Amino acid sequence: MAPEPALATHWLQAAARPSVRAALDAIHQLIADQIESRGPACWASGRCCNFEAFGHRLYTTGLETAACVLALPAHGRTLTTPDIDAAVARGGCPFQAANLCSIQAIKPAACRIFFCDRSAEQWQIDLTERVMQQIRALHDREQIEYRYAEWRVLLRTFVE
């Protein structure tokens, strides 16, 4: 069930605040540093973006989703209900294009951390837990309502 529209407005306003954007950028940099030091394999196969075929779901926070939605126009992207419906029908992400992520620079933390590389499994779990604690602390510090839900459900909140 998608969060109510007032909550989406709350997240959009919060994601637009410089202090929140800076905190999210710092978390994303931590992830980038960890990924670089670990060097997991990415075959650009797009399997991770095809949730049904890969047998997993992408979960993120309302705040991260809002930050992504706010950044879409600057990256030449839009999002519509038909985009989400088509993604659900094919079992994947609305931002997957030809097996690649079309929002690489603005994707949420869970996307940044996940790699199909089996050798990366344990440290991905550890890093995800660490990052989610930081994101939860950001919510608490900035007094932002916290919700953690499936990516496409949250995206729908911002286009309906």
Q: How many CB atoms lie within 10 A of CB 111?
A: 21
Total structural domains within the chain: 1
pLDDT digits (tens, 9 = 90+) for 55-89: 778 889 999 999 999 999 999 999 999 999 999 99
Answering whether pTM is above 0.85, one says yes
Q: What confidence tier does 4 reach under pLDDT thresholds 50, 70, 90?
A: confident
Question: 46: pLDDT confidence band, cut at 50, 70 and 90?
Answer: low
pLDDT confidence of residue 39: 73
Q: Which domain holds residue 71?
A: 5-159
